Amino acid sequence: MRHRFLTSLCGFGVVVMVAALVPPAVTAQPQRSAVHGDLPPRTPWGHPDLQGIWSNATITPLERPEEIADKEFLSAEEAANLEQQTVTRNEQLLSQSAQRTEAGGNVGAYNNFWMDRGTTVVSTRRTSLIVDPRNGRLPSLTQEAQERVTSPEAQRLVDVRRGRFPAESWEQFDLGERCIWYRGIPAFPTGYNNNYQIVQNSDYVAILQEHINEVRMIPLDGRPHIGQAIRGYMGDSRGHWEGETLVVETTHFNDEAFIRGFRGILTEALHVVERFTRIGSDTLDYEFTVDDPGTWTRPWSGSLPMARIPGPIFEYACHEGNYGMTNILAGSRAQEKAAKSGK
């Protein structure tokens, strides 16, 4: 399961790297924000202080449910009712007895004790995280993207990942299944580990995500993006300040990049702009715009306010040492052997 950072040499290395960014004797210098009229803390070198551990856990969906297509915001009463329903459902799930799975069927997953999906809607009470298009829904896929999704190769990968066919190698699994990278950019909440730690100095901002413990290093010194030939699953991020807001532009993604459920179809044209604004002692406003003309027919944007939490950040020990992938491939070889023998 999950263990504290310092129980893992790998996790310890991350802590050391991130901690090295924090200058000694960092003390907040409150100044009034011209944008929000409050008193956000500032760093000794004058930048808004975004440091802390923040959670984006929420029950607000990415897309607006079709049954409330014309409703952009919930009322206070509607939000309270949804939150109470979530709390009640969680209590019911915790009291459920264990269930035996059928041999050869779905082995299931962690029980609800391990889930941390959040119990509240976003603070704005929007009915979706997507704010543009105004209908709160993702734009349509381009014809080329639709063809990629429905191609025989893509369908084969889906079947392999769902256990319908044996896997030829670990390369047929995505980065999340291989415990390398899970959240994507922009990052959305999932069933657990929805926490992010931000540290900064005058030259860099580092964002550590709890899920698989990846660190994004974002330079602020105005350097250009890396060469077009160099691409990564996290892309290449560059940040700058616009008043109280940290603006981060990320490009140079490779074919392993993904956003929520969109894996293996995004193109090298993917361009993500994120905006981080401290709007209170316990709230970090997070906005984003995604533009990939090879995947969607138009750009789309969203808003996902993040709440400060006390922490600590935990290590996500994916596959409990990665033996999961070994077992998956061993199972595939057993399937092939059984098929050859006619059993």
- Structural domain for 219, as ranges: 3-55+134-341
**Position 72 in a domain:** no
pLDDT by residue (tens digit) across 276-291? Answer: 999 999 999 999 999 9
In a domain, 48, yes or no: yes
The answer as to whether 91 is a domain residue is no
Residue 70 lies in a domain: no
How many structural domains compose the chain?
1
Residue 65 lies in a domain: no
User: Quick one: pLDDT at residue 9?
Assistant: 29
Q: What is the pLDDT of residue 112?
A: 79
Would residue 93 count as lying in a domain? no
**The pLDDT of residue 58:** 97
SS3 for the chain, per residue? Answer: CCEEHHHCHHHHHHHHHHHCCCCCCCCCCCCCCCCCCCCCCECCCCCECCCEEEECCCCCCCCCCHHHCCCCECCHHHHHHHHHHHHHHHHHHHCCCCCCCCCCCCCCCCCHHHCCCCCCCCCCCECCCEEECCCCCCCCECHHHHHHHHCHHHHHHHHHHCCCCCCCCHHHCCCCCCCCCCCECCCCCCCCCCEEEEEECCCEEEEEECCCCCEEEEECCCCCCCCCCCCECCCEEEEEEECCEEEEEEECECCCCEECCEECCCCCCCEEEEEEEEEECCEEEEEEEEECCCCECCCEEEECCEEECCCCCEECCCHHHHHHHHHHHHHHHHHHHHHHHCC
Read off the pLDDT of residues 168-203 as tens digits, 9 standing for 90 and up: 999 999 888 888 888 899 999 998 899 999 999 999
pLDDT tens for the chain, 343 residues long, are 333 332 232 333 333 344 445 444 333 333 344 444 566 799 999 999 999 999 999 999 999 999 999 999 999 999 999 999 999 998 888 887 766 665 555 555 667 788 888 999 999 999 999 999 999 999 999 999 999 999 999 999 999 988 889 999 999 998 888 888 888 999 999 988 999 999 999 999 999 999 888 899 999 999 999 999 999 999 999 999 999 999 999 999 999 999 988 888 999 999 999 999 999 999 999 999 999 999 999 999 999 999 999 989 888 878 666 788 888 899 999 999 998 887 6
Q: What is the pLDDT of residue 152?
A: 94
